[in-house]
Structure 1
């Protein structure tokens, strides 16, 4: 019953992951490949955390 109002940490990480990918795409469109690479790397780190949470 009390778990009803708790937020799912995987959902929060998924949203952050999607935002990082969107930012990376925008950086690539603007020709900023360094920003694209760093944002993609951050997104992949978030993806690893999401996978770890789902396995637990």
Structure 2
């Protein structure tokens, strides 16, 4: 019952992930493959963190 007011711990990370994925796409479209891969690597780290947090909350 009290979980109703508890904030989602991954909400902020998912927002960051979506922004990074969009930035990587735009960098790729502009021909900057190096920047695109750097941004994608950062997005992958955030995705792994989301998966870790969600795994802890389900256990």
Could you tell me the TM-score, scaled by structure 1's length? 0.88
Query: How many correspondences in the alignment?
Result: 55
Please give the root-mean-square deviation of Cα atoms over the aligned residues, in Å.
Answer: 1.5
Which ranges of 4 or more aligned residues in structure 1 deviate by more than 3 Å? none
Q: Which runs of 5+ in 2 are unaligned?
A: none
If asked which structure has higher relative contact order (CA below 8 Å, sep 6+), I would say: 1
Q: Which runs of 5+ in 1 are unaligned?
A: none
